[in-house]
Amino acid sequence: MVYRRTLRRDVACTGIGLHSGRPVRLRLRPAPAEHGIRFLRTDVGVTIPATLAHIGAQDHATTLRRDGVSVGTVEHLLAALYGLGVDDALVEVDGPEVPVLDGSAAPFVILLHEAGLRPLAVPRLYLKVLRPVEAVHGAKSARLVPSDHFELRYTIGFDHPLLRHQALALRVSGRSFSDAIAPARTFGFLREVELLRKSGLALGGSLENAVVIGETGVLNNKLRFEDEFVRHKILDAIGDLALLGRPLLGRLEATKAGHALHAAVAQKLLATPGAYELVPALGAAATEAKPSTAPAAALRPAEA
Ligand SMILES: [Zn+2]
């Protein structure tokens, strides 16, 4: 049996919001079983569950909203929680946006290592895809298809010589997420930066927290991976699929997709009768997620 997991202790960090440019303090706290992942805006006292039902704006980042109060840029933190198998936690922020830090999920992985993980006394149920569902918008598509593991196959293509085509397939485990996906940073095109700023977005963006692509190359010194861009798209997709609220057994097949399509295909899965069932861990997932052995130990910083 695999059990739900939360954090061992509180951890916190401070950083600026990518779009607002304002400083924000983030604290991650343990939570009881079936609490799920929830955001608490401590400055206004409103709690927002990290579920599909609370999705707000989705241009350039995913925002959660409830009663007119929102938390923006949640996807990298949610990806880290989902990728490392945290089911229940409270995320406190004292402003409208999660800090962007270095534009990847790596700082959140480090923070979660610092917190450590602890099993709860409630079995973990997985959302198993039984029938394919898809969301399509022109040449962009996102499909969820059956698989005994959580996997993603992602293809991107942009009208830019550096980014005509990148593709990557990955089976998600705590290790593959931490090593291959979490360090991949947000990226944007120089030609779009001015436009974003004019619309009040990316005010906190800089070469410290995003890869900026100019006409002939990246403005940053170097990439963390040759295919860092598609890896970041996978990171975003994991963060958006985390809004399903349960660990997924299925494969996302995405082409030129983004936050809106990731969420749309997830919504479609839940809305399609017979497209999924809730199951306890299958063989491979069970060995990977045993609460008292491998992952908990791997997540303790001293042993990492
Ligand atoms: Zn992102």
Q: How close is the Cα of 274 to the center of ligand 1, in Å?
A: 31
Q: How close is the Cα of 257 to the center of ligand 1, in Å?
A: 12
3-state secondary structure the chain: CCEEEEECCCEEEEEEECCCCCEEEEEEEECCCCCCEEEEECCCCEEEECCHHHECCCCCCCCEEECCEEEECCHHHHHHHHHCCCCCEEEEECCCECECCCCCCHHHHHHHHHHCEEEEEEECCEEEECCCEEEEECCEEEEEECCCCEEEEEEECCCCHHHCCEEEEEECCHHHHHHHHCCCCCEEEHHHHHHHHHCCCCCCCCCCCCEEECCCCECCCCCCCCCHHHHHHHHHHHHHHHHHCCCEEEEEEEECCCHHHHHHHHHHHHHCCCCEEEECCCHHHHHHCCCCCHHHHHCCHHHC
The confidence score (pLDDT) of residue 292 equals 37
Residues designated as active site: 259
Q: How close is the Cα of 161 to the center of ligand 1, in Å?
A: 21
pTM of structure:
0.90
What is the rounded CA–CA span in Å between residue 2 and residue 123?
6
Residues 242, 95, 31, 54, CA torsion sign: negative
Q: How close is the Cα of 201 to the center of ligand 1, in Å?
A: 14
Chain centroid to CA 54: how far? Answer: 15
Q: How close is the Cα of 76 to the center of ligand 1, in Å?
A: 6
Please give the angle made by the CA atoms of 270, 134 and 237, to the nearest 5 degrees. 80
Side chain identity at residue 219, one-letter code: L
pLDDT tens-digit profile, the chain (304 residues): 899 999 999 999 999 988 778 899 999 999 999 999 999 999 999 999 999 999 998 777 899 999 999 999 999 999 999 999 999 999 999 999 999 999 999 999 999 999 999 999 999 999 999 999 999 999 999 999 999 999 999 999 988 888 889 999 999 999 999 999 999 999 988 888 777 777 777 777 778 888 888 888 888 778 999 999 999 999 999 999 999 999 999 999 999 999 999 999 999 999 999 999 999 986 544 444 443 333 333 333 333 2
Q: How close is the Cα of 238 to the center of ligand 1, in Å?
A: 10
Q: Looking at the DSSP assignment, which residues form a beta bridge with residue 40?
A: 47, 92
* CB atoms inside a 10 Å sphere around CB 95: 20
